[in-house]
Amino acid sequence: MFQILKSIAKAESEAKKIVEKARAQAEEMLLKSKEQSEKVYEETYWRTISEGKERFKEEERRTLEAANLDAQNILRKAEEQLKEIQAKAKQNLPEAVEQALRESLQ
């Protein structure tokens, strides 16, 4: 009987140690997580900010690219307009000279 009680007491003592060890491990984990939380906060904050800024830059780059394309279109249309102007100017030059002469001597 004594042996039985001794065995049970030994088992309970070991069980207690197991639980206490686990509790200590759990406490350490929680403590560690609390210690890490500031680092995690900083890292997440700056990573998110950095991603946001990257998005802004990307948006700016895309806008600039699109605006440059549109600007090129504007200039291309102006080039076409120039050709029309040159053709009209060449075609209407004699009449313009004649009318201007007449107008200036009136």
Residues between 33 and 52 that touch another protein (CB under 8 A): 33-34, 36-38, 40-46, 48-49, 52
Does 68 contact another protein by CB under 8 A? yes
Q: Give the whole-angstrom CA distance, residue 47 versus residue 44.
A: 5
Q: Give the whole-angstrom CA distance, residue 39 versus residue 46.
A: 11
Of all helices (H) and strands (E), which one includes residue 45? helix 2-105
Site string for another protein, 1-40 (x = CB under 8 A): --xx--xx-xxx-xxx-xx-xxx-xxx-xx-xxx-xxx-x
Min separation Cβ 65 and another protein, Å = 10
Q: Give the whole-angstrom CA distance, residue 46 versus residue 28.
A: 27
Pairs from 14-21 (Cβ < 8 Å, separation ≥ 24) = none
Min separation Cβ 13 and another protein, Å = 10
Does 87 contact another protein by CB under 8 A? no
Min separation Cβ 86 and another protein, Å = 7
Min separation Cβ 60 and another protein, Å = 6
